[in-house]
Chains A and B, each alone.
Chain A
Amino acid sequence: MEIPRNSETYYDSASRGTPALEELREIFNYRNLILQLTRRDITARYKRSVLGIAWTMLNPLGMMIVLSIAFSHIFKFETEFGYPAFVLSGILSWNFFSQTTTAAMVNLVWGGGILHRIYIPRTSFAIAAIATGLVNFLLATVPLFLIMMITGVPLRPTILFLPVSMILLASFALGVGLLISTFAVYYPDVSEMYSIAMYGWMYLSPVIYPIDILPENFRFWITHLNPMYFFIELYRLPIYYGRMPTLDIWLPAVLISLITLVVGWIVFTIKADEFSYRI
């Protein structure tokens, strides 16, 4: 479907449907733009480096090696199939969430000058950020499989569930990204606060440690109040443990990701008109 051509294009500032739905239609019209923005984010970053796109894989790998050495010998976590694959699966899913939400916010606040000059759908930045993250996330499963093979973690058919986990996490990330972008436009401080919050949030999630090492009462709070708990488990269960996620994991994940996405989208699109006045 192309943009309606010539005399069919009609803009009337007074006839306003629901901003949320209007934005949805515009994003569909401008889908090539999302593709181009994603391409830009991915290629521009590694244009001048020798290893190029390989860095998206080497980065989490490096982190995993450091953490494995540190924690396997110092803390000796009990993980079913060896620590390296455990921690790498946690790092990958966490990085996806943290990097995409931060990028959505930063791209809007600092790169949003475009909005002063030409009309593009406001949600483009956040959506492109999530899309870029998804590409990196997919590429990073290559080293994950490699590590699994090296450390003897069996590859089971449950990995076919992985796309579902990734999509749910992406929806959650998009919702969060849209929400914090909105706040960051009004209060640039938010971007500083967010990076600190991310730091703390990571340690409150079972990224580098298995949830069982936490004392009972503490564990209760994490498994019931931390949304990232569900998404990390949703990613780890099929690929590392080789089990399908049970209802108590996937149901909250679906609900949380849907609600966050819808709320984030609505809040963002309602406030979006004011962005050209503010950025």
Chain B
Amino acid sequence: MEASKAVITLENAAVRYRTPTERYNTFKEFAIRWLQRRVQNTSFWALRNINLEVCKGEVFGLVGQNGAGKSTLLKLISRVLRPTEGQVRVRGRVVPLLELGAGFHPELSGRENIYLNGAMLGYNRHEMEGKFQRIVEFSELHEFIEAPLRTYSSGMWARLGFSVAIDADPDILILDEILSVGDEAFQRKCFSRIEEFRKRNVTILMVSHNTQQIADMCQRAAWLDHGHIQSLGETGKVIADYRFSQNA
């Protein structure tokens, strides 16, 4: 692909978590160990040697076992984590559809939470006012929008979070293990909205354990295992490689 069209580029990216070998519950314990020069940290490489490019408008899939590093990879792209090594370059506004209800406060009403959540996604007041009506429409929670969130069921909670996120104007959309929120009608609405994004040339990153879903929707994919990319390229092949490893 032309370099100019790449919207996501990872070059030799790596993420290392460092956890102390011993658990230090208190500052005193740590200080003693530190003075004894016996503080040891274990390193855990969540991702290593990641080289990846995604073009504008692509629907890209990510498969792998739990703990393979998929979420960590998405966090690198959405700026939640900085790479320990290597480089990450992202062009355009990233909207992680995975973080439903980030920052929702149970005491605040649906309305207040929409504004709060929108602010976290980076919107200003004026923009949120324009979006508010559409978000309430999409969530179908009109009667409950002034009620505090602690009165919502978990499904309603998720629907509200989803509606705020999906009203975003993303250049890059990240879908992580969706979409079990809401009933069938709601799910269909969500999928049609995602389809709209695809037609508008929005780049889509999908993570799913449902390999059929990946095969149906993605043009290219990557298989992550233990923090390394085992297979990258045309979806059919990647899924075949992944399935083969699971059955072997």
Residues of chain A having any CB pair with chain B under 8 Å: 2-3, 5-7, 9-14, 29-33, 35-37, 39-40, 43-44, 47-48, 114-120, 187, 189-190, 193, 273, 276-277
Contacts and interface: CB of A to CB of B under 8 A. Distances in A.
Given A33-B119, A189-B26, A13 B87 contact: yes
A193 B103 CA distance: 28
Interface of B: 17-18, 26-28, 30, 75-76, 78-83, 87-93, 96, 98-99, 102-103, 105, 107-108, 112, 115-116, 119-125, 127-128, 148, 169, 171
Nearest to A119: B79
Contact of A189 (B27, B80, B148): B27
Contact of B90 (A11, A29, A32, A35): A11
A40 B116 contact: yes
Nearest to A41: B105
Contacts of B103: 114, 118
Given A33-B119, A189-B26, A9 B171 contact: yes
B107 A48 contact: yes
24 contacts: A6-B93, A9-B92, A10-B89, A10-B91, A11-B90, A11-B91, A12-B88, A13-B89, A14-B87, A33-B119, A35-B125, A39-B112, A40-B105, A40-B112, A114-B102, A114-B120, A117-B96, A118-B120, A119-B80, A189-B27, A189-B28, A276-B81, A277-B18, A277-B81
A126 B75 CA distance: 23
- Of listed B81, B108, B112, B122, residue having the most chain A CB within 10 A: B122
Nearest to A187: B27
B80 A276 contact: yes
